[in-house]
């Protein structure tokens, strides 16, 4: 059972210190994008609208995790992703220039998708338009797996994050394969995915798994329903039986449940006026990674993760964290310890 196992974080940290190296973290995104924000004046449907400003950032959940970890002071973070076409080249340029990250790229024939978010100036109104998912071939999926395996073989990788959706049938089983490779090398794995990529997980499971309530509903076969607390507790229990040390189902700004090494917690984020909540789940995962590698106990770990998510929602660009703001937010996070079976 998960509660009987050792805390993984001190082992990883001791290994890194013994080698005189900081912990390398690989952040995998299977479905990246160029996230373009267009700010426009107030407008009505059918009008010709001239934009006031355009801003670009590399999107995709794992890229957000990498950006957040870098902002948290982790120097050795590498995004791992597919990139293709002119949009892919632009993404590579932005990761290197603006984020100062060194991506591990698998080139693909299909063009990387774009997401255009139209933001109305002076309001909270925004609408996002998504390109279709790219078609990734089996050979390209195998190439990304080999690049991750080669990076792990160097002995410097301490954590692997697997984030976001799977764009093609050829990539649906890729996260499962990468979990197997990482667990064989005793590398901590942090998973935040849904749909076919989550359904394909079997045999080996990650150390940490995070979903939001909508994704949990989909996984439980309740795509139009709302999982009850009992449903969520059953899901956390099931993951724990698979050996998952930290299991979390978030619910946006609302309180949520987490299970860490056999104990269940109810967590209440502080109330805020959000600027842009997109990317908050990715920053939550970054907080879990950072806190785990620091060896934090469960309650401080949850407070850190929530504070990262909240700090993200207070700015426009996804994962543009300001670490100096985290302490004040952490103090306002409520964490309640529940019984091992709070339903009984």
Which domains can be identified in the chain, with CATH numbers?
Answer: 2-31+61-107+135-337 (3.40.1190.20)
Strand 53-59 to strand 126-130: parallel, antiparallel, or no bridges (unpaired)? unpaired
- β-sheet bridge partners, residue 113: 33
Q: How far apart are CA 263 and CA 92, in angstroms?
A: 42
Q: H or E element: which one contains 60?
A: none
Residue 19 scores a pLDDT above 90: no
Higher pLDDT, 23 or 328: 328
pLDDT band at 244; cut points 50, 70, 90:
very high
Give this prediction's pTM: 0.90
Q: How many Cα atoms sit within 13 Å of 257 on the Cβ side?
A: 22
Q: How far apart are CA 204 and CA 243, in angstroms?
A: 9
Tens-digit pLDDT profile for residues 74-129? 999 999 999 999 999 999 999 999 999 999 999 999 999 999 999 898 887 888 99
Alpha-carbon torsion angle 245, 243, 319, 321, nearest 10: 10
Contact between residue 297 and residue 227 where contact means Cβ atoms under 8 Å apart: no
| Averaged pLDDT for residues 186-201 | 96
Alpha-carbon torsion angle 18, 154, 182, 319, nearest 10: 80
Tens-digit pLDDT profile for residues 52-75? 999 999 999 999 999 999 999 999
| Averaged pLDDT for residues 195-203 | 94
For 19, the token pair is 């080698």
pLDDT band at 27; cut points 50, 70, 90:
very high
Q: What rounded mean pLDDT belongs to the chain?
A: 90
């Amino acid at each position: 059972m998960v509660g009987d196992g050792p805390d993984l974080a001190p082992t990883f940290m001791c290994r890194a210190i013994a080698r005189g190296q900081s912990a390398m973290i690989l952040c995998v995104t299977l479905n990246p994008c160029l996230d373009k924000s267009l700010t426009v004046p107030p407008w009505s449907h059918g009008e010709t609208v001239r934009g006031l400003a355009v801003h670009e950032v590399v999107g995709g959940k794992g890229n957000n995790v990498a950006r957040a970890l870098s902002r948290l002071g982790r120097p050795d973070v590498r995004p791992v992703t597919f990139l293709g076409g002119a949009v892919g080249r632009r993404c590579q340029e932005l990761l290197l220039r603006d984020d100062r990250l060194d991506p591990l790229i698998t080139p693909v024939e299909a063009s990387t998708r774009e997401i255009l978010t139209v933001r109305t100036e002076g309001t909270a109104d925004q609408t996002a338009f998504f390109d279709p998912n790219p078609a990734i071939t089996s050979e390209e999926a195998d190439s990304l797996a080999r690049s991750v395996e080669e990076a792990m073989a160097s002995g410097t990788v301490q954590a692997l994050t697997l984030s976001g959706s799977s764009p093609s049938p050829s990539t649906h089983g890729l996260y499962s394969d990468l979990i197997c490779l990482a667990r064989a090398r005793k590398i901590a794995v942090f998973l935040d995915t849904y749909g076919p990529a989550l359904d394909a997980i079997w045999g080996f499971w990650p150390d940490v798994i995070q979903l939001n309530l909508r994704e949990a509903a989909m996984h439980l076969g309740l795509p139009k329903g709302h999982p009850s607390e009992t449903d969520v507790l059953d899901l956390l229990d099931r993951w724990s039986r698979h050996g998952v040390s930290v299991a979390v189902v978030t619910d946006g700004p609302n309180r949520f449940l987490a299970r860490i090494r056999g104990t269940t917690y109810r967590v209440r984020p502080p109330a805020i006026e959000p600027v842009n909540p997109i990317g908050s789940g990715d920053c939550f995962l970054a907080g879990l990674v950072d806190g785990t590698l620091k060896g934090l106990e469960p309650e401080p770990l949850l407070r850190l993760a929530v504070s990262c998510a909240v700090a993200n929602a207070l700015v426009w660009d996804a994962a543009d964290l300001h670490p100096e703001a985290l302490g004040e937010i952490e103090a306002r996070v409520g964490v309640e310890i529940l019984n091992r079976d709070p339903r009984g």
